[in-house]
Amino acid sequence: MQRLQRKRIVLGVGGGIAAYKSAELIRRLRDQGAEVRVVMTRAAREFITPLTLQALSGHPVFNDLLDPAAEAAMGHIELAKWADLVLIAPATADLMARLAQGIADDLLTTLVLATDAPVALAPAMNQAMWRDAATQANAELLVQRGMRLFGPAAGSQACGDVGPGRMLEADELAQRAADCFARGLLTGCRVLITAGPTQEAIDPVRYITNHSSGKMGFALAEAAAEAGAQVTLVSGPVHLVTPQRVERVNVVSARDMLAACEAAMPCEILIAAAAVADYRPEVIASQKMKKDPGSDDGLTLRMVRNPDILATLAQRADRPFSVGFAAETENLLDYAARKLRDKNLDLIVANDVANPSIGFNSEENAITIIDRQLQQNSFPQTSKGKIARQLVAFIAERYHRN
């Protein structure tokens, strides 16, 4: 089970002898499908070279807060936004003390202050340093602030002492990193998600469709499965890998999608992320339509309305908690609020597809969620995977409150 598949992990390496284990940790994280960026402190470079970690991660290593090249390519703020998880291994006593005090005097500590991703620390130090009252107080304060401590383990140490303070081994750290994404917010819930475009046939060769890639819907399916849900993903034609522990049903047209959704009912939560074609040709030609070589006239198609999948499911007697998407190019929030009301939804997710950085086929998104009271909650631009986990957590909270 690769729970780290497509997860973005910033690995912070502190200046301790255990830094040599970071090389193996990168391998284990990547073995589980994670993408890893490495940030090293100045002291860490005394124990292991950036070149080693660059070769293992496949990406340049970030070292200095004020490195012009790093700021031009992916500065500390962008790196903080990029991360799904910040894992610091090893986390030395000095590094933990600086984090506890909110000091931002290098790239790693500045990144921790700037990120909204979970932060996990793998302490590594002499057993006396770990037991010291100041270190224990710092560790307790960091946990109170929401950071996670992975370890330390006990055993023999490089200095010859025996006791707590050893950094956990790479396999266990990778497992604990994966556990950061396994939350039981939707345990026992049946979740139906639609994704991708539909294709409406004109003849056996041609069809009408849209630019939806399905990436947002697939990210939501993955996030819902991580949250413990039993997920059915009804997808139009896309070339995406099915997330683990997700039942996928492939469809082509809007009518196919509606039939598949009705077959998957009942469910507790419906998330309709598909970009369903509003219209289809009234008549589908049985043979390929040919051009008339003697005429310059264009092709005229009579179009008819497709069934409104979301409105149909949200009006059922056994209606699920219903979440729709409004992908708009203008008047985003007004159109989204109207769709929320007209389709009898519990939540509507609005995103501006006119913005190419968050539109169809992009790797990132930014959304505003509107509820029945027209209250708005916005999530800033980040990866679709992170947006999906934020959105699933929001949906779970509202569903359980409902």
Task: Say yes or no: 152 and 205 in one domain.
Answer: no
User: How many domains, the chain?
Assistant: 2
SS (HEC) of 65-104: CCCHHHHHHHCHHHHHHHCCEEEEEEECHHHHHHHHCCCC
What does pTM read for this prediction? 0.76
- The angle at the Cα of 348, spanning 190 to 351, to the nearest 5 degrees, equals 115
Mean pLDDT of 147-151: 93
Does 263 lie in the same domain as 144?
Answer: no
In angstroms, the CA 243 to CA 216 distance is: 12
Whole-number Å distance between alpha carbons of 318 and 263 = 13
The arithmetic mean of pLDDT across residues 178-201, rounded, is 91
159 annotated active-site: yes
Q: 212 with 141, same domain?
A: no
**What's the average model confidence in pLDDT over 109-130?**
92
Model pLDDT, residue 358: 81
Answer for the pair 198, 204: CB distance below 8 angstroms, yes or no.
Answer: no
169 and 250 co-located in one domain: no
- The 10s digit of each residue's pLDDT in 38-86 is 999 999 999 999 999 999 999 999 887 666 555 444 556 788 888 999 9
What gap in Å lies between CA 286 and CA 273, rounded to an integer?
31
Return the minimum-mean-pLDDT range out of 6-20, 114-128, 285-299, 380-394.
285-299
pLDDT of 184? 82
What pLDDT score does 381 carry?
Answer: 87
Question: How far apart, in Å, are the Cα atoms of 323 and each of 53, 199, 200, 310, 359?
Answer: 43, 23, 24, 9, 19
Residues near 123 by beta carbon (within 8 Å), at least 6 away in sequence: 90, 91, 92, 93, 96, 130, 139, 149, 151, 152, 165, 167
274 and 381 fall within a common domain = yes
**Pair (80, 218) in one structural domain:** no
Which residue in the list 159, 189, 261, 267 is annotated as catalytic?
159
Q: Do 205 and 322 lie in a common domain?
A: yes
Residues 248 and 394 in one domain: yes
Report strand pairing: 207-208 vs 269-272.
unpaired
* Residue ranges making up the domain that contains 144: 8-179
Residue 133, judged by CB atoms within 10 A of its CB (0-12, 13-18, 19+), counts as exposed
Residue where a domain stops, chosen among 179, 198, 232: 179
pLDDT of residue 72: 47
What is the chain's Cα-based Rg? 25
pLDDT of 1 reads 44
pLDDT in tens, 293-322: 777 777 888 999 999 999 999 999 999 999
Residue 2 has pLDDT above 90, yes or no: no
CATH at residue 69: 3.40.50.1950
